[in-house]
Structure 1
């Protein structure tokens, strides 16, 4: 009887997760080598989920700060844009940002008071469109790489797969912060 209760409890926990994403496995996205394709799947899943959470925010919600130390949802999405752009250019193109790229994408590499003051009065669509631009370049660049490259070291103890894992986990962490901010939005 205890085993049946355990199985039923497990099933009750698992069903909402399966329904939420309509599948319970990672797939490798076609057009990429297997390991890169799985990373692309995770990157795209997180971007889609974050976009779904924020796409309908109005200006006051995009810029909302729940206290003096908080970040706005707009600044967090821009931070995701900056992070992905930085690693995309460094790992896929092997270079640093140009001055133009730094001005367009790099503004929120670090979020501080100066950056927060610059990232106001822009609609959420502004940040999402920049993220779309960066992601398109990321996807194109990753198609030119293979799993051998992905597993190779950029430097001792640091491989490309870990760097892209970091970009993916960065999105997951900030997705949680965005959810917290949304829960604190004025009603």
Structure 2
């Protein structure tokens, strides 16, 4: 649900409060750059591993969806992922060896569908809250407080960080 005509504007979006609109604007741009980085990749390219310690591009894409889903559950539903959700999202959250073993064999459309499904769910959740919600604080990493604004910033900050890995992997693909 990217608003391509306003991609470079961090601005109000109809149906959302001002700060949530700005957060969504930044998330949209981050996603646009991710989609550009994976455009036209084949299944073999999505599964390619640089070495025994690396993640595939496909696993990183699923990681983006998994992280966003986990933050939906945490911030909107006030709970941890349940056993069923961990079966679905656990390998993508964990990455590493389990991700290498379990996240492969999918075409690009599979990953794009997962990203879209999770993002559409996020956008629906964001319609249900206002800017004050972003100030909600909870215990977070390293026994520190964080507010929801930071947590949702982290969702797309993590994507941007790993998107750099995707570009590096893409530049070194050795798939025939």
In 2, Cα distance between the equivalents of 1:154 and 1:22?
33
Greater Cα shift, 100-109 or 121-130: 100-109
- Which residue of the partner structure matches residue 138 of structure 1? 122
- Which residue of the partner structure matches residue 85 of structure 2? 101
- Which residue of the partner structure matches residue 151 of structure 1? 135
Cα RMSD, aligned residues only = 1.9
The within-5 A match list for 1:35-184 is: 35-155=19-139, 157-184=145-172
- Report the TM-score, using the length of structure 1 for normalisation: 0.82
Q: Which one has a larger percent helix, Structure 1 or Structure 2?
A: 1
In 2, Cα distance between the equivalents of 1:164 and 1:37?
12
Which structure is larger by alpha-carbon Rg, 1 or 2?
1
Identify unmatched segments of 5+ residues in structure 1: 1-20
Greater Cα shift, 23-32 or 72-81: 23-32
Q: Secondary structure at the match of 1:109?
A: helix
Query: Shift in Å at residue 113 of structure 1?
Result: 0.8
The structure-2 alpha-carbon separation of the partners of 1:123 and 1:141, relative to structure 1 and needing over 3 Å to count, comes to same
Identify unmatched segments of 5+ residues in structure 2: none
Does the 8 A contact of 2:68 with 2:118 survive in 1? yes
In 2, Cα distance between the equivalents of 1:24 and 1:48?
10
In 1, Cα distance between the equivalents of 2:44 and 2:99?
18
Query: Shift in Å at residue 154 of structure 1?
Result: 2.4
Query: Shift in Å at residue 23 of structure 1?
Result: 7.0
In 2, Cα distance between the equivalents of 1:46 and 1:23?
10
In 2, Cα distance between the equivalents of 1:157 and 1:118?
34
Q: Secondary structure at the match of 2:76?
A: helix
The runs of at least 4 aligned residues of structure 1 exceeding 6 Å deviation read none
The structure-2 alpha-carbon separation of the partners of 1:23 and 1:43, relative to structure 1 and needing over 3 Å to count, comes to closer
| Structure with bigger RCO (C-alpha 8 Å, 6+ apart) | 2
Greater Cα shift, 97-106 or 49-58: 97-106
- Report the TM-score, using the length of structure 2 for normalisation: 0.86
